[in-house]
Every structure is written in C-alpha cells, then in structure tokens.
Homo-oligomer: A and B are copies of this chain.
Amino acid sequence: MPKIQSPKGTRDFYPAEMAWHQHLMEMWRRVSIRNGFEQVDGPIFETLDLYKVKSGEGIVSELFSFRRENGKTDFAIRPEFTPTLARMVAQQANSLPKPIKWFCTPNFCRAERPQRGRLREFWQWNVDLLGLDSPAADAEVIFTLVDFLAECGLTKEQVKVKISHRDVVSEILGKLGVPADKRVDAFNLLDARDKMSPEDFTEAAGNLGMDPSKVQRFEEVCRRKYPAGDLDHLARSLAMDQAPADLAALDEQLAAFGIAEWCEYDLGIVRGLAYYTGTVFEVHETTGVERAVAGGGRYDKLIELFDGPPTPAIGFGMGDVVLTNLLHDKGLIPDNVMPRPDAFVFAASDDASAKVSGITAQLRRAGLHARMSYKTTRNVGKLLKDAQKARARFAVIVGDGIELKNLETGEQSAVELGELTQRLGG
C-alpha cells in the first residue's frame, strides 16, 4: 500500500464506481433537458466573500478556504451552487431570456465530519427556475424532481415530496400568538424540534409567545401529513373555513402536472435556511430512515442580495451520496452500467497477429467500441472466454480470413474485411 492516502471523506472512482457515477450524471442531465432546463456551471472555487453574502460568517468554518493574491483575497472551494448561480444571474440579468431554467451537476466540498450520507466531496443536482412567481413554476420544478425519481425506478409508495409553505405556516403561527417579528425564530425552532426534549421545546415556544395549549396544537399541526389533492382535510384540521390560498393554488398545479399522488403537505418541513420565501419541499423515503434525498424551495429575495434585480426563483438540490444509498437499499442500482464493447478482436495464429491492430483501428474509426486481446496465446477457446468476460457483442477472430462470432447467439460466419464494419452496425 502506498504511503499517501486519499483525503478523508473523498472518493476514488475506479471504473465500476465511475460507471455508476456517470450513469447518475446522465440521468440527471437527461431528465433536466427533457424538462426544458439548460445546463450551466461555474468555477470550482469562488471568493470567500461570495459565500458570506447568503450564509454569513458562520459558513467559513465549513469551507476549504485559502488565501491568495499576495494574501489579499480569500477563496473557497464551492460548498454549494446557489451563490454562483445568483452571481451569474445578477451579472447578466438584463440579457438573459426569462424564465431562466438552469440545471447543473457540480461537485462541492464541505469540511464536515464524514458520516453516512455526508462526505467532504459530493456531487449535487441543482435545478432552478427564475423569473416566474407562480404556483405553476413551483409545480414544474417539483414535477422535474418526481420525473427523476420515477426514472430511477422509485415509486410514490417508496418516496414522497413533502411540501410546506412559509407564508401558510407564518399565518398559522400568527393565529397561535407568535408576533410577526418572532416568526423566523419560530421556523428555526420548528426545524430543531426533533433534536429537542418536549420540555425544552415547550419552553422555547413559550418564549415566542405561545401558551402551553397552543404549543401542543402547534406540534400537532406540524406532525400531521395531508395528502396533496385533499385540501379540505387540511383545512378542517387547521380549523379553517377553507384551505390557505397559497396551498390551494399549488395543489391545483400539482394535479395539473399529474403528480399529486407523489406529494403530501407537511408543515413541519422548514428547510432551516432563512432565505426561503414561499413553497419549501423535501423528498423523503416513506420509512423516514434516511436523510432527505432532495430539498428546495422558493427564494424570491436572493438575487437582490447579490446585487441583481428583483427576481422570483425556485429550485432544489439533490446529493449523490444519499440518493445512491437509497437506490442501493431499494435494489435500484443497475447491475452493470459499464459501456459494452461491440467487438473483441483477436488473432487465431501468429501470422495473423499483425493484422489485429489495423482491424481494431478500422472499427474504432467507424465509431464502434472495439477491444483487442493483448495476450500472446492463440487458443481460440480461451480468447473467446476473454471476449465474453469483456461483455462484447461479437468476437472478431483473425486468421487467414476473418470469422465473426455473435456472442449472444453463438452464430459464427466468415466475413470480408470490407464488410466487417457494416456487419457490426458501424
């Protein structure tokens, strides 16, 4: 074993792991494109200041940062894409056609303690729709997420998009006695409740203006789930005459996109981040054991924070580590996603061996995936086994003439050099 190891919390992608990684990237890309999103990317590092705009000084300890330019500027490896996206949108705000529909699949680094579902380097699918402030935009982004989950083979019984809405929760908090200037504190409390004792929660809620009976009511409201497409249920439970207008409008759009059955309202979903402004959502396994598979929401004030014009926006992120764990648990990682050779070329005699590279080159030049044997044996049986092990569709056996063997059917026939490429479908 070599002395120097890879850094803690990072991964080496050997061919088998890379094939899955690449497969996942291509699924993310395919689903994004068919949903009308355009791919973008930014630098692997940015100025440290860019990351403080949204997250404050608190983010710095989680970053891999470094000082350059004669000590005058701090930079950091990107821990997320949103600040880069906001910078890019702000820089070209006037020339970009609206709505802006962007996706990317970048890698990020965070200086966290590695644990299940969390590594120091990971990849994340980001999907953002900017320039539209409508429940239809929210639903289209959530549809894209569901379209991907279904593409992976996941079902609506296995995963759910849990949706809340900041304004709706804020309205409920108001009815429970929380004044407007304490609503953000209440969101943070809601976000932290799973890590608190009931006593601590009651005390903290009391400090926000809720009496004990209302704290209990608040807890109940946040714990209950309401299926999308049945807002009456939710309204009754919240003792309202009718469902909040924001949820009703979103509910209609989720139905129009045909994904109501994949979604449920869960007012306990907060997405701790202070910058969300309306709809927020997370994807969870229905058993609830893993971390959120994806999370996002509306962030209508963020582009302004980066000196851009007022720009409504909604988006989400999905990390590769939690998703891969989930797909693995559900048996949804395909067996072998390594590229499959069209042909495996070898010589049946020493005289023929000089022809192998030329024939292989001809096939490759025609766009065919062609491998060749590097062995000196001329034992056709052994070489055919190598061809099978390589998962090749055909073996090309070079002797005095050329024999083409279909490795699926076992069929074998002589073929002229000039027609070989065509016979292989090149």
Contacts and interface: CB of A to CB of B under 8 A. Distances in A.
A107 to B, nearest CB: 6
A357 interface: yes
Interface string A124-137: 00000000100010
B102 A15 contact: yes
B34 A370 contact: yes
Given A357-B136, A361-B143, A367-B34, A40 B18 contact: yes
A396 to B, nearest CB: 13
- Most interface-central of A75, A92, A111, A362 (chain B CB within 10 A): A75
Interface string A355-391: 0011001101101111110100000000000000000
A7 interface: yes
Contacts of A1: 90-91, 307
A249 to B, nearest CB: 13
B77 A365 contact: no
A7 B75 contact: yes
A369 B36 CA distance: 7
Contacts of A372: 36
Contact of A92 (B6, B14, B65): B14
A90 B339 CA distance: 25
Nearest to A46: B7
Secondary structure call for the A interface = mixed
A6 B341 contact: no
B257 A34 contact: no
Contacts of A109: 44-45
A21 B102 CA distance: 15
B43 A365 contact: no
Contacts of A423: none
A82 to B, nearest CB: 13
A2 B40 contact: no
A362 B258 contact: yes
Nearest to A4: B50
A43 B92 contact: no
A40 B66 contact: no
Contact of A46 (B6, B13, B68): B6
10 contacts: A2-B87, A2-B90, A4-B87, A12-B43, A12-B88, A15-B40, A30-B367, A34-B368, A256-B357, A258-B358
Given A7-B45, A44-B121, 11 more contacts: A1-B90, A2-B308, A7-B43, A12-B41, A18-B41, A33-B369, A45-B109, A64-B75, A99-B374, A147-B365, A150-B365
